[in-house]
Each structure stands twice: as structure tokens, then as C-alpha cells.
Amino acid sequence: MPHDLMLKAMNGVHRLVLQVTGGRVGYEAMGMPVLELTTVGRRSGQPRSVMLTSPLTHDGHLVVVASRGGDDTHPAWFVNLRAEPDVEVSLQGGPKEPMTARVATARERAILWPEITERHPNYAGYQKRTEREIPLVLLEPRT
């Protein structure tokens, strides 16, 4: 499974591509829009940002998948947002918007997961690699 350093390096390369191309390349990946999710570090209290894809929207809310490539542990960003659900999201290079992150309910996941894996089969492969149920996170505008 991906090592933390590898994931950080991939994120850094992604940001570099965005910077070098002026955003012409990198705000879409595998047919999905790319967003920057900023959480609060659960131990440090410092902002932590990660580039993620959003395979679909549901009721106007962005959906992200906490797959970590099918690893047996949750991604750090997921653990952070469970501790502090107030996040910021920048969709495709737009301004950061305050949002609330919440884990999809079992009912929502039962509806969303088949749609995600039909459109993006790589997520089904990630689920096969791990015994943990890969969580789906809905990003809802904060009011």
C-alpha cells in the first residue's frame, strides 16, 4: 500500500503540475474534478491540505472517497475531518469555501457506492484490497 511519504510526494507533484501549467492541467483526473480539501490536524491543530478527486455529487454535495488506494488504514485527512468536520474546499482551483464534512450513512453509501464503482472501477479494486469498508464523505456547504 502507498507509504505516507509517497502520498505526500504525489500530492506535491500534483500541486507542482497545477502551478507550472497555470491550472490548465491537473484540475481533472480520470474524468473527475479535483478539489483541495483543508482539514484541521487532529493533533497539531494546524491546517492540512490534500488534493482529492470527487467522483460524483449527491444532492448538490461533493462526494470524496477515503480509499487511500485500498490500504487497511484510513487516510489522515479522513481521520482529521472525523475529529473536526469543519473544513474548507476549493473546487478546481476556485476560492476556498467553508464546508462541513460528514461520513455517508449506510443507506447513502448503499446508493452511492454502486454508482461510483460503475463510473470509476478503480474504487471497486481498492475495496477488494482491504477488509475495511471504504468510507464516503459528503462535503456540504456550511451555512
Domain boundaries, the chain: 4-141
Superfamily designation of domain 4-141: Electron Transport, Fmn-binding Protein; Chain A (2.30.110.10)
Characterise 43 by phi-psi region: left (phi > 0), alpha (psi -120 to 50), beta (else). Answer: alpha
Name residue 91's beta-bridge partners. 35
Q: pTM for the full model?
A: 0.84
Whole-angstrom distance, CA of residue 65 vs CA of residue 116 = 9
- Among 13, 55, 16, 48, which residue's Cα sits nearest to residue 32? 55
Q: What is the pLDDT of residues 30-60, one digit of tens each?
A: 677 889 999 999 999 999 989 899 999 999 9
